[in-house]
Amino acid sequence: MSPEPLAFVLPLRVDPPSPSDKTADIDRLIRTLEKDGFGDVEIPVGIARVLPSALRRNNFELQTVLGIQAGYGLHLGKRRGYKLLDISRKRSLGLALDVGSSNIECSLFDLRNGERKDAGSSENPQMKFGTDVLSRVQRSMMGESHALTESLLYGINRLIGDLCTRNGISGDDIYAVTVAGNTIMSHFFLGLDVANIPVSPYTPAMSRSLIASAGEIGLTANKNAIVYVFPNSGSYVGGDIISGMVYSGLFREEEPVLFIDVGTNVEITLGYRDWIMVGAGAAGPALEDGIAAIGKKAERGTISKVRIDRENGRVLLDVIDGIEPAGICGSGMIDLIAELYAAGIVDRKGRFVEEASGVEERDGKKIYILYKNGTR
C-alpha cells in the first residue's frame, strides 16, 4: 500500500503567450498540467480569477498546490482526479488530527518535505456532555447533536489556531487534513446521525472514508484544503485503529500481530496479511470514573503507576504532579491489578487472599489499602 498524498506542491513553468500562441491563460495552465501527467484537474473559479495576474507577476512560474478529490465527496470507485488548491503559496502545510473521546491531538507537517514541525493537544470540549461516547450519543438523541458537533469543531479549531500562532503561520497555509477517531467521534466531526449506532443492529451512518474540503467541514484551514476522514470498521471500531494499522504496516506481517489502542475506548486488532480481526470496548469508563469508586481521569493528583515491593509489601505510587493522591486513572488501575496478582494478594479469580498483607475487611467487604493519609 502506497497512499497518495492528499496535497502536494508542484512547481510549474508555463509557456508565456506570444503572437503565434494566444491560448487563454487557464487553458495554458491546463496544458502544462497535462504535460506533467495531471490530466484531470479541477480549477476553482476563485483561482481562475487571480491566475492572469499571478502568471505575469511570477514570470509564468508557479508554485501550485494540488490535492486529490473523489466524486460527490465519497470515494465511489471512480478514477480519482485532482483539484488545484493554490498557485503561489510560499508555505504549504498539512495537519494530522486524532480526535479522541477525551483529548484531541494535532501534528503540523511541511508538505514540501514531510517534516513534522509542531504538535499540540487539548481536552475534547465534548467532555461537558459526558465522559464517555455513549453519554454523548444519548445527549445527541435528546436533540443536542448540533451542539456536540459545534463543540468538537470549536475545540479542534482552537487547537489549530494555537499551532498557527505558535509557528507564525495562517490557516490559509494548511492544504491537507487527515482525521482519525472512533466511529462515534468521526460521526460527530462530520455532523452525521449517531442514533442508530448504540441500538440493534448497531448501524453507523457511514463506514467508508470521506474526502471533503475544509470549507465544507468548517475547519480553520484553507477553504480548498483536502480533508480526509479515515473509514471505520464497525459501530465502535473506528478510523483511529485503522490509521494505526496503516502506519504500523500490520497488514503486511507474515505472522499474527496484536495491536491495541487504549483510550477512553479500547480497540483491539489481531491479524496479519491474510486476515484481520477487530473488537472494541469501554476502557476509561470501566477503569476510571465508571465502575471503580476511586477511579479518576488522568489529571493532577491521580495515581498513574503502582508497584508493590515483593519483599516487604510496600506500595510505591507515581502520582501526577507528585502531590497527595486523590484517585487512580486507567493506567494505574491496570498496574494495580497486575501487581496485586503478581504479589499474591489476589488469586487467579480476582479474589483477595485473606492472609495477604494490606488486605482488610470493612463494612463486610474485603479491601486493599493502597494509600493512607492518616484520616482515611
- Cβ atoms within 10 Å of 70's Cβ, excluding its own: 19
DSSP string, 114-144: --EEEEEEEE-GGGGG-SSHHHHHHHIIIII
Exposure string (b/e) for 362-371, b if CB count within 10 Å is 16 or more? Answer: eeeeeebebe
* Percentage with pLDDT > 70 across the chain: 93
∠ Cα 58 63 170 (to 5°): 105
Q: Which amino acid is at 140?
A: S
pTM above 0.85, yes or no: no
Residues 99-109: tens digit of each pLDDT: 988 889 999 99
Helices marked H in the chain — which ranges? Answer: 25-35, 45-57, 133-139, 145-167, 183-190, 214-217, 239-248, 284-287, 330-342
Q: In what order do the strands lie in the sheet with 265-271?
A: 257-262, 265-271, 276-282
**Which of 36, 83, 29, 37 is closest to 55 using CA atoms?**
29
**Overall average pLDDT of the 300-314 stretch:** 87
Residue 365: band (very low, low, confident or very high) from pLDDT cuts 50, 70, 90: confident
Q: Do residues 106 and 97 touch, judged by C-beta distance below 8 A?
A: yes
**Which of 356, 329, 328 is closest to 341 using CA atoms?**
356
Q: What are phi and psi of 94, to 5 degrees?
A: -135, 160
Residues 11-32: tens digit of each pLDDT: 999 999 999 999 999 999 999 9
**Which of 90, 63, 225 is closest to 169 using CA atoms?**
90
**Which of 91, 118, 114 is closest to 172 using CA atoms?**
91
Q: Quick one: cell of 113?
A: 518535505
Residues 204-230: tens digit of each pLDDT: 998 888 899 999 999 999 999 999 999
Residue 70 pLDDT:
60
What distance in Å separates the CA atoms of residue 40 and residue 61, rounded to the nearest whole number? Answer: 21
Q: Which amino acid is at 210?
A: L
Residue 233: band (very low, low, confident or very high) from pLDDT cuts 50, 70, 90: confident
- 197 pLDDT higher than 80: yes
- Residue 247 neighbours by CB under 8 Å, 6+ apart: none
**Overall average pLDDT of the 343-357 stretch:** 83
Q: Quick one: cell of 64?
A: 501550485
Residue 296 to residues 103, 127, 137, 323, Cα–Cα distance (Å)? 15, 14, 22, 15
Residues 56-100: tens digit of each pLDDT: 999 999 989 999 876 534 444 455 688 999 987 778 999 999 998
**Overall average pLDDT of the 160-171 stretch:** 94
What distance in Å separates the CA atoms of residue 180 and residue 55, rounded to the nearest whole number? Answer: 38
Q: Do residues 251 and 1 touch, judged by C-beta distance below 8 A?
A: yes
More confident residue, 156 or 261: 156
∠ Cα 328 333 334 (to 5°): 155
